[in-house]
Amino acid sequence: MLSSDLAHHNFAAAFNAVSDTDVVAVFDHGEETRAEFASFWRDVWGEVPAYGDYERMLSEVKPDLVCIATRQTMHADQIEAAVASGVRGILCDKPLATSLGEMERIIAACAEVPLAFGLDRRWSEPHLHIRKNMEAWVGTITGAITLGLNNTINHGCHVYDALLGLLGDPEPVWVSGLLDDSPSDNARPSLDPSSRAQVGFDNGLVAHITMDGGKGYHFDILGDKGRLSVRTDGQEVYLWRADANGIETLKVPVKTSRWPEGPEIVSDLADSVRNGGRTACDIEQARRATSIGFAIHHSSNNGGARVDIADVDRSLRVPSNPWGNEPPA
């Protein structure tokens, strides 16, 4: 059901909240779906042309930005077509691709075009605050535990990217993991399964990631001066200091709406286009977060063996979560 609320990756609402962006066209293979979108937003943007042909939309409208919120099976082709048509910036919803081969096509296409990959925590005020203060709170990071992985790729990319940001963005180099044969209540059956894994980084850190821990993403960051526990998506943060007794509850910024990150994503992309920069979650962040999930699938297919991310099968395909917006058969 369409809504103008800023919530749950409603990117139309996010564009509407940014004063210097307008939606000038919409594409969807479904005639009813695109007509519904155009009708719903008519009072905001006027008569929005609705296309059933993506390449035709790009050719006729020549947009500055494209927001790609289709199924991941379509992302690589649509991003390549957008860049080839002269689009200056791309916002892409998660997950990025159905294989690492497709991911690499996207990275190559966006080498000179900023990409905003919709992993919210890169723009989240609580997460930004925690990352800024991490060293002062825990000192040198020595390890990490992540709880609540509900899907290895589809939502896992959110988990891995949040973890990478909290750790200071080290490069993941190896993975050992096993997919879960009996998904928890926190996993959606139409998506890829949950898993348990270890991820090794180029600075020697090892992170443990598990589906256990209940709903929501939770992170424990271990350091030589203390241990930080990040709960409820950064809204609750607790610190155990090595030189003190008890637990300290830390103050972090409070979200002012259900999805304040949406307009920040759009504004960041627009600013990157204007200034010739890159976004807070661009191709490097997208590559790291996407690679970990496929590496876990690859490792699980090999009995949980430790695998170098560079050696993961680029053709391994995980096309879960049918949305119904694929082209007609």
Domains, in order of start, for the chain: 125-250 (3.30.360.10)
Q: Look over the chain and give the mean of its residue pLDDT values, rounded to a whole number.
A: 94
Residue 183 has pLDDT above 70, yes or no: no
User: Residues 213-234: pLDDT tens digits?
Assistant: 878 899 999 999 999 999 988 9
Rg of the chain taking only CA atoms, in angstroms: 20
User: Residues 65-113: pLDDT tens digits?
Assistant: 999 999 999 999 999 999 999 999 999 999 999 999 999 999 999 999 9
Measure CA of the first residue to CA of the last residue in the chain; give whole Å: 25
d(Cα 49, Cα 40) in Å, to the nearest integer? 13
Cβ neighbours of residue 131 under 8 Å, at least 6 residues apart?
A: 165, 166, 168
Contact 270, 18 (CB under 8 A): yes
pTM, 2 dp: 0.95
Query: How would you list the strands of the sheet with 115-117, edge to edge?
Result: 65-68, 89-92, 115-117
pLDDT at 214: 78
- For residue 277 the two structure tokens come to 């920069």
The average pLDDT across 251-265 equals: 93
Q: State the pLDDT confidence band at 8, using cuts at 50, 70 and 90.
A: confident
Beta strands 26-27; 218-223: pairing state: unpaired
